[in-house]
Amino acid sequence: MQIVTTSPFGDQITARDILQVMQYLHGWEDKYRQLLLWGKQLPAMSDTLKSDQIMVAGCESRVWLLAQRHEGRWFFTADSDARIIRGLIGIIMAACQGKTSSEIISFDIEGYFEQLNLLSHLSPTRGNGIRAIVSQIKSMTQE
């Protein structure tokens, strides 16, 4: 059964693309607007898939996350009830979508978000939520 929807993140919008766009933007307001735009590009998860069993613990907002492995690569569907979190999920998906387990496990979330200059602008609970999402992804993809 296919549970993962097609997403532009990881394919048409890569982690490198995200870094280039964010480094070009100046000021938190511009970056915030860009996050909201990316959030709009994140495909919505079907309400029939959203359940407590797939919610990510440790997030201030509700976040649902599913993973599916195909030919050694991982594909994700994720959604949130918060617009800014949807954009942050897109950033994470750009780095993890279609990657192998070892590529995902070695993903340096702190370094990635440091390069994006985002963590300093997020509340501590949002930062912890991002870490919880990445931790859940790494846990799901361990071999």
Specify if 5 maps to a domain. Answer: no
Nearest C-alpha neighbor of 85 from the set 53, 127, 136: 127
Write down the pLDDT at residue 113: 87
Specify if 8 maps to a domain. Answer: no
Task: Judge whether residue 4 has pLDDT over 80.
Answer: no
- Long-range contacts for 17-23 (Cβ within 8 Å, ≥24 apart)? 17/94, 18/91, 18/94, 18/95, 18/116, 19/115, 19/116, 22/116, 22/117, 22/118, 23/115
Nearest C-alpha neighbor of 18 from the set 40, 42, 32, 34: 34
Mean residue pLDDT across the chain: 90
Domain region containing 36: 15-141
Token pair belonging to 76? 């994700």
Specify if 22 maps to a domain. Answer: yes
Specify if 1 maps to a domain. Answer: no
Specify if 58 maps to a domain. Answer: yes
* 63 close to 80: Cβ distance less than 8 angstroms: yes
Domain harbouring 92, CATH code = 3.90.1010.10
Write down the pLDDT at residue 5: 61
Task: Judge whether residue 2 has pLDDT over 60.
Answer: no
Nearest C-alpha neighbor of 67 from the set 49, 86, 42: 49
Report d(CA 1, CA 38) in Å as an integer.
Answer: 27
User: pLDDT digit string (tens) for 34-86?
Assistant: 999 999 999 999 999 999 999 999 888 999 999 999 999 999 999 999 999 99
Kindly name the residue from 54, 59, 67, 93 that is annotated as catalytic: 59
59 among known catalytic residues: yes
Specify if 86 maps to a domain. Answer: yes
State the total domains in the chain: 1
